[in-house]
Amino acid sequence: MSHHKPNTVQFKAGERNIFFHILTACNLSCAFCYINPVHHGRRAVAYTTLMKWLHLFYDPAKVNNLIFLGGEPTLYKHLSHAVQFASQIGYASITIDTNGYCFHNILERVSANEAVFSFSLDGPTAEINDALRGPGAFDTCLANLKRAIQLGFTTSVIYTVSRQNITFLVDMPPLLSELGVDRFFIQVIGLRGKAANCDTPLQLAPHEWLCTVPAVAQKAADLGLTVIYPKVYIEPTESFACAGNVAENFFIFPNGRVYRCPLCEDLPLHSLRVENGELHSTTGLTEQHLFSLTIPEGCVMNKLLQSNNIPYDSDGRPRYRISCCLLKQRIDPLK
């Protein structure tokens, strides 16, 4: 069988991606949740504020992509109105990242041409998934995923790979193909939030990722899925590029903090903030001051915040260079 090779999805000029955490509350308590209420806030964004912020971050000269996140965004009772409002403003794409519980009948309250639903599943069975996400999460998510597909929504599934579930990643493509899922996102575990303080190591060694993820991604593409996963490691001949320098990504939280790099979200390094309805630069040392630094390890943020995942040789040189966490590999299925 012939294969399509993975393509690196380069940062696109003229494109703006808005990752909008509209609340931090969630009905689950996942082992690797990255939400940190101390730095992200504890209250949901008021609906009148949300509408103003959607206008604030929309740039009519660019292609604007919007992702609603939480916590669990479907807990937000005004989410369907927010989707419709964003669509009217002109956002090119709107995605709802959900744990699958789909509160407030959200699947019936937005239409398939208004939003994409991205479901989080971290195992091919209830035994594997629910050990990470909580009892009943698998069955509920699967039922609502099937419902979304029946209603004609474009759907994707996000699988966060860690030491606890990497063995079972290979079983995901057949399941998703049978269900009729459109896209498969394989995500690397980040040392943020709960995962940063977990007693059991969750992050993968380079050989574990490289020996498993690309092969599973190819299998998924062979079964008709579009697959997207982080590049993670840079080849020796490739140059490093930081999204903070060459792309427009905004990670917005209910307390008004706005980050350009998601690795910084556990710290008060946000380069921007929303105050009195306006976007302001944060004073002092912020993530923005670090984006232009060049180091042998590649990503400066990874070196500063997750330095234990970079091995070195006997001469002190890094064995691997880490790419920007926002740089992705994509495999499209053969037509």
The answer to whether 133 and 113 are in contact (CB under 8 A) is: no
In a domain, 251, yes or no: no
In a domain, 275, yes or no: no
| Ranges in the chain, pLDDT < 50 | 1-2
Q: Residue 143 contacts by C-beta under 8 Å, 6 or more apart in sequence?
A: none
CATH number at residue 143: 3.20.20.70
Pick the closest to residue 102 from 80, 126, 125 (CA basis). Answer: 80
Helix H segments across the chain? 37-40, 47-57, 79-89, 106-109, 126-133, 137-150, 172-179, 206-222, 243-246, 300-305
What crossing angle do the helices spanning 137-150 and 172-179 adopt, rounded to 10°? Answer: 40
In a domain, 1, yes or no: no
In a domain, 211, yes or no: yes
In a domain, 11, yes or no: yes
Tell me, what's the pLDDT at 39? 81
Tell me, what's the pLDDT at 2? 47
What is the number of domains present in the chain?
A: 1
Domain that holds residue 158: 7-239+324-331
Question: What's the DSSP call for residue 238?
Answer: S
Which residue, chain included where needed, has tokens 């980050």? 259
In a domain, 200, yes or no: yes
In a domain, 62, yes or no: yes
In a domain, 314, yes or no: no
**Cα separation of 24 and 43, whole Å?**
7
Question: pLDDT averaged over the chain?
Answer: 91
Tell me, what's the pLDDT at 1? 45
**Cα separation of 29 and 27, whole Å?**
7
